[in-house]
Structure 1
């Protein structure tokens, strides 16, 4: 049978010459990369937005005999008092687990971002459109770092670039980790590289990326940790990738597996005890699948700065 002719010409030839991907039909290859300090992967539970929720999930994890790498807060730092943040950091520090706090103000709270709250404005993502909000994000980062936070979730590429510059100048701690949110929409390897070149220490990938894209993200940005959602909220599609977890660890290492979101319909839903138990069950199920298909995997060392353990 005659081979099928591919609809491509000089553009494809140029991509091939540069060693760039030209299609999704590529063979999987194991990544040789690891976290600083060692380890292929870690586990992150998202949407831990208060001290009460942190107490709930840690109690449930202890009951199940499960250890995770870190948690992340997603509603925004401006909603949390110094006192509550200190309690959250102290609990994580005592447990030798990390936590990342997301920056605010974001457009959903910003008085100057009315356009964002329209159907058209939502398409621009959570980009900041005024200097006052930008300054507030910088001030919030300084506040969080002073309180002991060592992991920040950034929603705006410009903010990430400035925070990286501040860190380089010594205005922020040198061990502060800057992670881009999934809302930055790193949907291909070249966007991932742009985020890394502008200060991101790790990126949360877009939720639905296939294995070929994740593999090429790793290949074109060696050493850049990828934070990959294994399950998502029902309002984001509700999919669960248990059967791909082993492949993701192998091809994307160093990789943080984000697990537990599918227990909720929406990230702003009220979290009940039942929701927390379901989150932990999702973590347990993923680890069970890894035990079955990748028993020789290596876990991130708690000496890695990417654990984001508060100081």
Structure 2
């Protein structure tokens, strides 16, 4: 059965208004955050939030506090990813094989699972209100902890693209197990995104607009308006293609290229869908630190 279905505009939006948000990924240190916010200010661009992708276990309390404070002062949000992930874990040897890589970043031992939970408690105590989850089991436990009051009720749980939400039914499973937003697989076409929206009303979809060169390097800025039309509410993840790999060092030139790609996407979105609006900073999905 093919993907060729008739496309229809989504009538949904974020609570409080707005069909889309803008997220810049790979902001992995206070230095990275300071660089990108400076470039955004020079360009006159406003974004919704940033995300850190290397894992909170690599960041000290002091650095996390500085990152959260800068975002809070600017009225912008940030999500911080969890660890340990398999590539850091003591049981990483299997992960490094071709078979282990097919597992993605799922947790395979109790100590690592416990560490992920402890990291969320640390992050929320520091004021973070958005975390990126790589494992469905971890998402389920964190959702239960949020429901019983152990974690803040306004904490946003976002699944990583490494969870591989490749079809609408997998997205539904993630949502049923506590995910507040789903990062879709990178290469999903408009029909699949539309069906994800239909099966998951109200669930924000986080859609990569460009990817690292090691992931294919494709850019789909020209689809921005159509993606917002069929998938709203949607978070547009922009800027990854400025790098070859997420673990590359980030230079000033890389940061400027990231911001240039955000600018270009917003230009195309505003040209072809001028009636759409960006999410309010009062919405919980903005993930502004407290």
Question: For residues 15 and 138 of structure 2, what CA distance do their matches in structure 1 show?
Answer: 25
Residue 117 of structure 1: how far off its partner (Å): 1.1
Q: Distance in 2 between matches of 1:104 and 1:48?
A: 16
> What residue ranges of structure 2 are gaps of 5+ in the alignment?
none
In 2, distance between residues paired with 1:116 and 1:35? 37
Aligned twin of 2:201: 222
TM-score, normalised with respect to structure 2: 0.99
Pairs aligned (count)? 290
**Which residue number in structure 2 is paired with residue 30 of structure 1?**
9
Equivalent runs, 1:53-202 vs 2, <5 Å: 53-202=32-181
Tell me if 1:231 matches 2:213.
no
Deviation string, structure 1 residues 218-276 (Cα, Å, up to 9, x no partner): 00100010000000000000000011000000110000000000000000000000000
Is 1:254 the counterpart of 2:219? The answer is no
The structure whose Rg is larger is 1
SS of the equivalent of 1:138 reads: helix
Q: Which runs of 4+ in 1 moved over 4 A?
A: none
Residue of structure 1 aligned with 2:273, choices 294, 298, 306:
294
**Residue 36 (structure 1) shift:** 1.4
Q: Does the Cα contact within 8 Å between 1:113 and 1:129 map onto a contact in 2? A: no
Confirm or deny: 8 A CA contact 1:103 1:153 kept in the other structure.
yes
> SS of the residue aligned with 1:271?
coil
Distance in structure 1 (CA, Å) of the matches to 2:135 and 2:16: 29
SS of 1:120 mapped into structure 2: helix
Paired residue for 1:46? 25
Distance 1:126 1:44 in 2: 22
Match of 2:256 among 277, 288, 303: 277
Deviations 1:172-214 (A, max 9, x none): 0000000000000000000000000000000100000000000
Greater Cα shift, 169-178 or 29-38: 29-38
Deviations 1:63-109 (A, max 9, x none): 00000000000000000000000000000000000000000000000
Provide the TM-score with structure 1 as the length reference: 0.93
The superposition leaves residues 136-157 of structure 1 with CA deviations (integer Å, 9 ceiling, x where unpaired) of 0000000000000000000000
Structure 1 residue 113 displacement after superposition = 2.9
| Cα-Cα RMSD | 0.6
User: Hey, what's the Cα distance between the residues in 2 that align with 1:252 and 1:40?
Assistant: 9
Contact kept, 8 Å, 1:68 with 1:97, in 2: the verdict is yes
Superposition deviation, residue 32 in structure 1: 1.1
